[in-house]
């Protein structure tokens, strides 16, 4: 009997996937961070630009079987072939119970979401759906006029998830761990859902088990189509990878508030994916970076509509519109102190990408 090597199997799987024809959009990144730092990235795996006006993002809040309490957002603009579109929570001011979304994250958006209860107010245990309707009419409450495009999570779990923190990868398991006082407590994981409290009913449960609460997730590169049938159960690891942890100022490994990969996605549907990076999402370059002189250059594949530069606290330090079809633009650094900035470029065909630059 002949046994295939792991590399041979990977190549065979890729060829089989490429033999299929991607037909519609899907979620490619999920950001569920602290406060209202929430975002959803959508990817176009086809070779045609897609009009987003017939697409909606729906949120099925806390195990609900309807999106009435989770909100529906109609998307706008277009998404180029093998490119991404980023929807970010739109809250810009804080209230005593609801903090504003990070302006740095908002600067990376193609579209800011609406007011609460918009879909990007997810908290880790909501199912998020991408659907489309005829002519972009609002979705019916019973979903009778929608075509399913993609789904993250499981719709209709009701009380089984309403008090939980998010999905994990362990099913029907009882976990024993130490609480903040160092005492052993027992928590339950049911249907890949992490309970918010231990079996004693009072002690908080193992939040570290959840992949969809306080996490950013990226769709696996071999996924070329969305989930159109409600899964039972939803198993995160089948199609999603968690982003690598970063080390915070206290030396702890954390997984939340990481959005460095937003605005680009690697997928085998892209015929040039073998280059290791999706060129369609890499249509803008900045050089030199780090910036060591008095200026830097932005070079793009598409004509530029606007360029915005943000500080790390979200302050707009530069904004300019361009109407002459320029693809190579040199910007000065006068007035900018040394540090890290975010450069956001929007093309004339409404494709947006953001890149960090360092000014020395």
Q: What is the pLDDT of residue 340?
A: 83
pLDDT at 98: 95
Is 142 in the same domain as 227?
A: yes
Q: Are residues 154 and 303 in the same domain?
A: no
Q: How far apart are alpha carbons 329 and 352 in whole angstroms?
A: 16
Please calculate the CA angle 274-280-282 and round it to the nearest 5 degrees.
Answer: 90
Residues 293 and 271 in one domain: no
Could you tell me if residue 81 is inside a domain?
Answer: yes
Shared domain for 264 and 290, answered yes or no, is: no
Flag whether 124 is in a domain: yes
**Cα-trace Rg, the chain:** 21
Does 104 fall in a domain?
yes
Query: Is the Cβ–Cβ distance between 297 and 286 less than 8 Å?
Result: yes
Instruction: Tell me, yes or no, whether 203 and 99 share the same domain.
Output: no
Same domain, 246 and 354: no
Residue 261, domain member (yes or no)? yes
Q: What is the pLDDT along the chain (360 residues), one digit of tens a residue?
A: 333 333 333 333 444 444 467 999 999 999 999 999 999 999 999 999 999 999 999 999 998 999 999 999 999 999 999 999 999 999 999 999 999 999 999 999 999 999 999 999 999 999 999 999 999 999 999 999 999 999 999 999 888 787 778 888 777 788 776 766 777 777 778 778 887 777 777 776 655 578 898 889 999 888 999 999 999 889 898 899 888 777 777 777 777 888 888 988 888 888 765 433 344 455 678 888 888 888 888 888 788 989 988 887 778 888 999 987 888 888 998 888 888 888 888 888 777 777 888 888
* CB-based contact 205:195 (threshold 8 Å): yes
266 and 314 together in one domain: no
Residue 283's CB is within 10 A of a number of other CB atoms, namely: 19
- What does pTM read for this prediction? 0.72
The pLDDT of residue 93: 96
CATH of the domain at 338: 2.60.40.1220
Predicted confidence at residue 4, as pLDDT, reads 32
Both 255 and 320 in one domain: the answer is no
Question: How many beta carbons lie within 10 A of that of residue 30, not counting itself?
Answer: 25
Q: Quick check: is 1 in a domain?
A: no
Range of the domain at 316: 283-359
Check residue 282 and give its pLDDT.
58
Q: What is the pLDDT of residue 180?
A: 65
- Does some domain include residue 10? no
In whole angstroms, give the CA distance from residue 87 to residue 84: 10
CATH number for 34:
2.60.40.1260
The structural domain count of the chain equals 3
Q: Is residue 8 part of a domain?
A: no
Q: What angle do CA 274, 279, 285 make, to 5 degrees?
A: 135
Which residue, 277, 293, 314, sits at the end of a domain? 277
């Amino acid at each position: 009997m002949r046994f295939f090597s792991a590399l041979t199997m990977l190549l065979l799987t890729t060829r089989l996937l490429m033999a299929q024809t991607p037909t519609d959009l899907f979620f490619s990144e999920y950001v569920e961070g602290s406060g209202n730092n929430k975002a959803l990235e959508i990817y176009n795996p086809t070779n045609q630009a897609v009009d987003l006006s017939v697409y909606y993002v729906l949120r099925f809040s806390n195990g609900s079987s309807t999106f009435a309490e989770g909100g529906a957002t109609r998307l706008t603009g277009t998404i180029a072939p093998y490119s991404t579109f980023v929807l970010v929570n739109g809250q810009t001011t804080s209230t005593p119970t609801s903090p504003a979304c990070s302006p740095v994250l908002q600067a990376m958006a193609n579209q800011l979401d609406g007011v609460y209860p918009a879909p990007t107010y997810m908290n880790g245990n909501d199912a998020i759906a991408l659907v489309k309707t005829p002519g972009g009419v609002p979705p019916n409450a019973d979903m009778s006029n929608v075509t399913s495009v993609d789904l993250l999570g499981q719709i209709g779990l009701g009380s089984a998830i309403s008090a939980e923190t998010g999905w994990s990868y362990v099913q029907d398991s009882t976990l024993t761990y130490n609480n903040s006082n160092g005492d052993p407590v027992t928590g339950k994981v049911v249907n890949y859902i992490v309970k918010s409290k231990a079996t004693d009913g009072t002690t908080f449960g193992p939040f570290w088990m959840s992949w969809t609460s306080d996490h950013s997730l990226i769709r696996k590169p071999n996924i070329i189509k969305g989930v159109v049938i409600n899964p039972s159960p939803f198993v995160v690891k089948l199609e999603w990878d968690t982003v690598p942890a970063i080390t915070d100022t206290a030396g702890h490994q954390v997984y939340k508030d990481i959005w460095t990969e937003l605005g680009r996605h690697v997928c085998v549907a892209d015929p040039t994916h073998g280059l290791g990076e999706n060129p369609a999402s890499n249509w803008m370059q900045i050089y030199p970076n780090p910036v060591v002189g008095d200026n830097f250059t932005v070079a793009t594949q598409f004509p530029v509509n606007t360029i915005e530069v943000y500080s790390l606290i979200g302050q707009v330090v530069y904004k300019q519109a361009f109407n002459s079809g320029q693809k190579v633009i040199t910007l000065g650094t006068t007035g900018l102190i040394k540090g890290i900035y975010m450069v956001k470029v929007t093309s004339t065909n409404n494709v947006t990408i953001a890149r960090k630059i360092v000014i020395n």
